[in-house]
Chain A
Amino acid sequence: MIKIISEEFDPFAEVQAYQKQQQALSGKYGATNIFIGTMRDFNEGERVKGMTLEHYPGMTEKQLLAVVQEAERQWSILDVLVIHRVGDVFPDDVLVLVVVWSGHRGGAFDASRFIMETLKSKVPFWKKEILADDQSRWVAKNTDGYL
């Protein structure tokens, strides 16, 4: 399931509620990989006090679904939940949740990484940061995930 939402959410409650509701998972999954991306209060050496996340309604969902379907083709996985925030966000807010359920850990780990990395390079979301002095700037590009 894919959800684009504009309100703050509790990722742990979402995982629990979704898993409970997916009866087909019962007894089948041996691995659940949970990735949570959270907003920092710094970027590129500057304090960041807030962000606005813009997206392209329609294309965002379409591309995200294609990423999940590609993961389902490549790995033996049982279910996927992706939730992404849009609108105004603040430090410590959860921006993205990627959960993969599979029979064994390999697929859960690998598919989560694939979904997250592909989301970062292909799915139309854009971040505009508001700095401590109220100046704002668009994030030009995503990094490789290590700094």
Chain B
Amino acid sequence: MTVSIKVRYFASLKELLGRSEDMLEFEQVLSVADVWRQATEAKVMPDNTLAALNMEYVDLACIVADGDEVAFFPPVTGG
């Protein structure tokens, strides 16, 4: 079965990659770390990168499912 997910990038990661999102389709089971590798042609992930799955913080080992939204971004600096 083909799994489709949306990958989003914010702040300095968006600038690093030169885009704000990717659509990814794949057949195998992928973790959040695998999603980064596939979407970025295995670019080195900057230190302290945070990951979210469907707008909740997750570990890079977390497995993604069809329709998920994965996001990568640097440490937050609001307030």
Interface residues of A (CB under 8 A from B): 37, 53-56, 58-59, 62-63, 84, 95-96, 116, 119-128, 138-142
Residues of A within 8 A of B48 (CB): 141
With contacts A126-B11, A138-B11 taken as known, whether A96 is within 8 angstroms of B74 at the C-beta atoms is no
Could you give 18 example pairs across A and B, Cβ below 8 Å? A54-B10, A55-B78, A56-B8, A56-B73, A59-B52, A59-B71, A96-B78, A120-B78, A123-B76, A124-B76, A124-B78, A126-B12, A126-B76, A140-B75, A140-B77, A142-B75, A142-B78, A142-B79
Inter-chain residue pair count (beta carbon < 8 A): 72
- A120 and B55 within 8 A (CB): no
- Indicate with 1 or 0, residue by residue over B2-32, a CB within 8 angstroms of chain A CB atoms: 0000001011100000000000000000000
